[in-house]
Structure 1
């Protein structure tokens, strides 16, 4: 028994046969599996027709995925190279040599050196100050707004109270009066400076010392009597410039107070030096 299939079902049957399906029919009770089926297969040119619009598409409507052409579709599309006129092209490197050899009237800007403007920079020379003192530790005592004692002390000093009492006794003997008003302080160089380059700047050391002494004697009504006790402070004041005020004070030079405290035999000589310096 055979029956005719409609064209659509006949085309589906043909496609299934191409895939290996030889039978694609529902068997009803009145039909058997051996019944033959015939039909005319209609093969359209484009099974799924697409309406093509005649209007131009904008760049935003361009499909993201281009039409596949096999394995080459995964390769990046070549970038189109813009064609320039010969006069618009940049000169090649080998043309630069020709231009340089052509004559001095041709200037190649890329090969010109950078012109630097000359600027006069005034560099002040280091002051010619002769001193070998690079470290200084002193104690200062300003007594009765008349007497100033500057004494060397060791870097680690533990006899400050004993030296202080000695300075007060010395001042009382020199001034021949009781010392009711006095102040004591310490000066250290380089102190908080950590850069070794600044340690060699003796002009800084001189300026720091003069400023320190200036603060101590600012309330003195008259020129102070200056006692330099110790080799370092004596040498440093001697190395000061001639215009320094410290070199114009009446000055007595003796050993340090720490030595006078440890060696009492030196006190007699120190007393004679101070008497001859202040009371001639």
Structure 2
């Protein structure tokens, strides 16, 4: 098992040392340039405190206090006809600001307008669930808790939705290793076969782009499957299982094949990207 190294400062490090990409910002326009949004913003200001508001990419973006999220969502739905919650999630700003930016994306079917409501919470600060206002928040808030660790309170069933219940940490935080940590590399091996099988099976391959034709148990092989137990010592399969693959009859149109058969001897691997 690999030696564990602290990852608390990962966000403070650059992923690249040869280039620095600055994401271009979209133009932010004054809300007064849109009559409908101006009226909606004026009405919303009578109910909750708004620290900032602007138009971006055709959306009205408003910043509220986190404790006003239920009041804001209710008013927008019942009074301003923003009747659909399209998305909600979090953005990890723990390294820069010590917490998360929460956003709610709403759509008015009658006005054909979109509004994005944002607020900021500290890393361990609780956030009220808006499930009572928009039912779609049920799964989205569970995902936000699962992936980011946002503490959503008053949710009727706040539990992980993608990761196992006993998974350690939250995979979409910027401090989470891209290939998972040490516990992640052994999770399924330990659960299915037991820790005593670690030396036999080896750690999980966390790179989704990697294909190992000669993995330990040969769950899947590129090219051609072989029965379990067939001797492929030293990476050599029997002669009757060449690396060649094509669906029965091939893939074609009007009798003409569109996809050529895979032939290992004729294939070429690029040494670098073009």
Category of TM-score, reference length = shorter chain:
under 0.3
TM-score (norm 1): 0.17
Query: Higher strand fraction: Structure 1 or Structure 2?
Result: 2
Pair member with larger Rg: 1
Q: Which has the higher contact order (CA 8 A, sep 6+)?
A: 1
TM-score (norm 2): 0.17
Query: Higher helix fraction: Structure 1 or Structure 2?
Result: 1
